[in-house]
Amino acid sequence: MAKKKNTAKEIKEEENINAHISGAGEVVNQLVTETLEVNFMPYAMSVIMSRAIPEIDGFKPAHRKILYSMYKMGLLTGPRSKSANIVGRTMQLNPHGDASIYETMVRLSRGYEALLVPYVDSKGNFGKAYSRDMVWAASRYTEAKLESVCNELFNDIDKDTVDFVDNYDSTMKEPTLLPVSFPSILVNANTGIAVGMASSICSFNLKEVCDTTIELIRNSDHNVADTLKAPDFIGGAKILYDRESIENIYKTGKGGIRVRANYEYDKSNNCIDITQIPPTTTAEAIIDKIIEKVKAGSIKDISDVRDETDKQGLKITIDLKRGVDPDKLMQKLFKMTTLEDTFSCNFNVLIGGVPRVMGVAELLEEWIAFRTDCVRRRVYFELTKAKEKLHLLKGLEKIILDIDEAIRIIRKTEEESEVVPNLMINFGIDKLQAEYVAEIKLRHLNKEYILKRTQDIEKLEKDVEDMENILASKSRVKTIIINELKNVAAKYGSERRSEIIYTSEIEDYDEEESVPDYPVTVFLTKEGYFKKITPLSLRMSGEHKLKENDEIVQSVETTNNTELLFFTDKCQVYKSRASDFDDSKTSLLGDYVPSKCGMDEGESVLYMTVTTDYSGYMLFFFENGKVAKVELSSYKTVTNRKKLIKAYSDKAKIAAIRHIKEDCDLVMQSSAGRLLILSTGAIAPKATKDTVGVAVMTLKKNQWVAGVRDYVPGEFAKPHRYKTRNLPAAGALLSAEDSGEQIKMDL
């Protein structure tokens, strides 16, 4: 069917419409860079500044608008109000729709159980943070008010402690920050995804945070890890404590915290009851994963799993088959499901409108500076009010000498406008004082009333002097903040919910006999991808599938029960088993080792060691010509830890890593092209992993060790040319006989 043509009248109307819209109907060529700058950048900045990243008071704008609206509604002390009413009032500040406002309020509530110190006292079904399927009721059914801890958010808000700005339509004012009297930024978990950046702040125990802040105020060099033991989650669970990892998070603001579910074994019913889970997962996700593993045959010890959560709280019940060891089963479940998970920390906070990733100490110092400003502004506000009142009372004090004269002046003054000037002239007071006296009610013109008012003068004078002293003294401001923190800790502090267990205390169960053992070939690529392929699959496969510019750097024939050690560019080693990786094919990319082993951000794999008995030596070749020889048994641990720090020395840049079963000859090459045949037996082995090694190859300025490879007998016409009796040695350039051969170095 042919498209109907527009009539002349319709065309004319369209032209008239386009004439009133600037640029309508025009096709404009625009550079992509210009589009990003004009359209995308304002959106990205809006998300970062006004949506996803919390500020130093611990709140995102949406949180702040809801709490301030509830405060203005009188819900700090009054009865609860319908949630729908709160949502409606909040839309005066936050015009983003009632659904998003209500969801934000739910997440702040006590009933939802997402915050360690909730801000909203809820009544009704507010859902649960640990459940994917327990959805909150509609806002017309639930009620809410502010928790008593919100007194610490709003106590000083009417004393010019923070700046106020217009709302979106300039009909009312709202605070840019809340004058919180404790570091709420660390007390409650806060996550957000912006454009190009994100924020993920774990929660800490309120009392520990206050104590740590007090210590930092007293001593700026205080080690926060001494008083702030570890994060504390509303859902409890167990934190696997590693002091070095915690201190790294406290220092950099980034890292991961391993959290493990809490369980009890019910012997009478032969079942395991899980009552606390990590904050990063839900009960349904755990149950789904267990069912998946049971169906796949990975777990054969479970007869049933169900969710028995009720009003008493979370409860996942796992029925066991007869004769099953519950502890061994839980160790397996910790590895296979999110019953043990990692909370990724990224302490990204807006400071003065600029997003910054900070450690705990730096973050607390910023909060102390913010709170110091709030206290000084409050004192200055109160000082101004006191001075104004004192000024008026001093004027009132002057008329006490002759009240009758004041009445006579007012009565005999013919015009009302002359009352104030006449009082000023007769009593020697200024206009403000005269206005104050003139406005006193007739019933108050008695000596008793005036004496009571003027008795406050001495107290006000002392208060003014005291407040001026506070503003001039940094130590007094610090004392005020410390006392406020002590009061908050005493009022709202509670015992830790999350239990701390040290990684060294975790009992490891050897399940090697339950893992099938069969021949495999393992491959590691330059980009950090790992493949485990059976001989049959390898024979029937074609070329390896790799990413662009990637290549296989190691391939080892071994078995499924072998242990793997991945050495990284951050002087760390991650331990795993070949059985932890699924069987692969050459047509697949394989597993990405940094992700599979939970490596730090930006960490890359340099070398893979395959072993069953930890025999042999690790050789670390450094660019400065030194070589460290470490017994592989030094990396064997009783507790089977998955990550070891200081795996090798960080004093010089690594050039190559080798694992040898026994002493052999290797060829070292410098950046200047010199070769040195090294007999590894000439280097004494060390038990210390991060030994700096011994000097082996002497190098001139701006030269370095470029590579290391195996020595192949017969490859050099005169091998003694490249050997030496004494170390260190410079090596030799290729002779004329050898220069024609292409020598491939293992860099």
Question: What residues are annotated to the active site?
Answer: 141
Instruction: Show Cβ contacts of residue 131 under 8 Å, excluding neighbours closer than 6 positions.
Output: 282, 283, 284, 309, 314
- Extract the runs of DSSP E, i.e. beta strands, from 579-664: 591-592, 605-611, 617-622, 626-631, 643-644, 654-660
**Token pair 């795996």 is at which residue?**
647
Q: How far apart are CA 657 and CA 674, in angstroms?
A: 19
Residue 486's identity, in one-letter code, is: K
Q: Running DSSP on this structure, what letter comes out for residue 414?
A: S
Q: How many CB atoms lie within 10 A of CB 725?
A: 6
Residue in 494, 501, 253, 474 with CA at minimum distance from that of residue 371: 474
Instruction: Show Cβ contacts of residue 32 under 8 Å, excluding neighbours closer than 6 positions.
Output: none
Residue 541: what are its φ and ψ, rounded to 5°?
-100, 165
Q: Would you say 384 and 465 are in contact if contact means Cβ atoms under 8 Å apart?
A: no
Q: How far apart are CA 146 and CA 143, in angstroms?
A: 11
Q: Where are the alpha helices (DSSP H) in 48-187?
A: 61-72, 83-90, 98-107, 151-154, 184-187
**Token pair 């998955």 is at which residue?**
642
Instruction: Show Cβ contacts of residue 628 under 8 Å, excluding neighbours closer than 6 positions.
Output: 619, 620, 622, 648, 649, 686, 691, 692, 693, 694
Q: How far apart are CA 109 and CA 554, in angstroms?
A: 54
Is cis: bond before 95, omega within 30 of 0? no
- As given in the structure block, the two tokens for residue 420 are 């104030």
- 656's enclosing H/E stretch is strand 654-660
Count, in order, helices (H) and strands (E) of the chain. 21, 32
Longest dimension (CA), the chain: 129
Three-class SS of 267-303: CCCCEEEEEECCCCCCHHHHHHHHHHHHHHCCCCCEE
Q: How far apart are CA 695 and CA 726, in angstroms?
A: 11
Q: How many CB atoms lie within 10 A of CB 373?
A: 15
Residue 238 CA, distance from chain mean position: 18
Q: How far apart are CA 318 and CA 304, in angstroms?
A: 6
Q: How many CB atoms lie within 10 A of CB 676?
A: 24
Q: How far apart are CA 395 and CA 420, in angstroms?
A: 12
- As given in the structure block, the two tokens for residue 411 are 């009565």
Q: How far apart are CA 668 and CA 709, in angstroms?
A: 7
Cα–Cα distances (Å) from 193 to 39, 47, 51, 55, 199, in that order, read 20, 9, 9, 14, 6
Q: Running DSSP on this structure, what letter comes out for residue 581?
A: S
Residue in 274, 259, 286, 335 with CA at minimum distance from that of residue 131: 286
Phi-psi group of 544: left, alpha or beta (phi > 0 → left; psi -120 to 50 → alpha; rest → beta):
beta
Tally of CA atoms within 13 A in the half-sphere of 141 that contains its CB: 7
Q: How far apart are CA 393 and CA 74, in angstroms?
A: 33
Q: How many CB atoms lie within 10 A of CB 37?
A: 11
Does residue 695 sit in helix, strand or coil? strand
Q: How far apart are CA 664 and CA 680, in angstroms?
A: 6
